[in-house]
Structures are given as C-alpha cells and as structure tokens.
Amino acid sequence: MKHCAFALFLAAALSGCATFDESELTLIQRSGVSPRIVSKMEAGRVLTPEDVIELTRQRVPNSYILRQIEDAGVDYVLSPEDYQRQQKARVAPEVLDALLAASDDFAARYTTPVYRSNEVDPYYEDPYGPRPDPYVSGSVGIGFSSARHGRWRHP
C-alpha cells in the first residue's frame, strides 16, 4: 500500500505544470501549430500575443488557449497595438479578456503603485499631519485670481 501511494505521489510530482494530456497535445500538433508553441503548451510556459494569434488561426479550441493563459499567466503588459492585432486576427473575446486580466496581474506584481493626490500613500506619513491645499486661499475675495500663488482660478 505504501508503494502504491508513493508511486501516485511520484507521478503527480513528475507531471509538473503541464496542463494538457497527450491527446490534447496531439490535437494541437495536428492543427498545424509550430513545434515551438506546442512545446510551450506542453511545458506550461507563457504564450506571447503572436502565439495566441497563431493558435487562433490554426483553430485550436479557445478552451485550450484559455487554460494555458490561466495556468501560465503572461510576462508582459499587453499593448494597445497587440490588442488591435489580436482583434484583427479574430481572437475570441473571452481569450482577449483573459489576456487583459493576466496582463493586469503582471503589471500589478511588477510596478510601483501610483497614488493620486487625494489618496493616502501607505508608505509615507507626514509627521506634521495633513497639510492644507496650497491652491485654495484661506480668505474670501472677489475675483478670479489668487495673488498669493499668482495663478488664475475660476471660483
């Protein structure tokens, strides 16, 4: 019984990140996809936008493309040009949505957050507390300018 459990564990460990079985990989190969892309799918590696276009043109099922994107993610931020090229190549909307979501996940992991002026930066705390807005005058006056800052403002 111990040997059987160990054999199952070993088989699961050796299967790695591959998400496709032999019949699915054979279907992908027979569709005419380049061997480079087949090996990416077999090894669970990231697909480029061009890979997705080729898979679509070779009529690989969208469910396979989606599975690869969900399992491997992406290692790039999808550019507007990439998105337009994919639309022209008639990549399915659900595949485009998955690529955009994976691209957003990648960007969130590897970029520094940008805080708007009205948000609080959790990594910076002003020791003097909140400061008044420098563009708002403390006095009420008539006119459209703030002489203190030399800027024209509409009320």
pLDDT digits (tens, 9 = 90+) for 116-136: 655 555 666 666 666 665 555
The mean pLDDT of 51-57, rounded to a whole number, is: 96
Which residue, chain included where needed, has tokens 């994919």?
86
Confidence (pLDDT) at 149: 47
Confidence (pLDDT) at 109: 85
pLDDT digits (tens, 9 = 90+) for 8-37: 444 444 444 557 889 999 999 999 999 999
Helix axes 49-57, 80-88, angle to 10 degrees: 0
d(CA 139, CA 147): 11
The mean pLDDT of 78-96, rounded to a whole number, is: 94
Confidence (pLDDT) at 5: 45
Of residues 138 and 69, more confidence is placed in: 69
Token pair of 111 as six digits: 């970029």
Confidence (pLDDT) at 40: 93
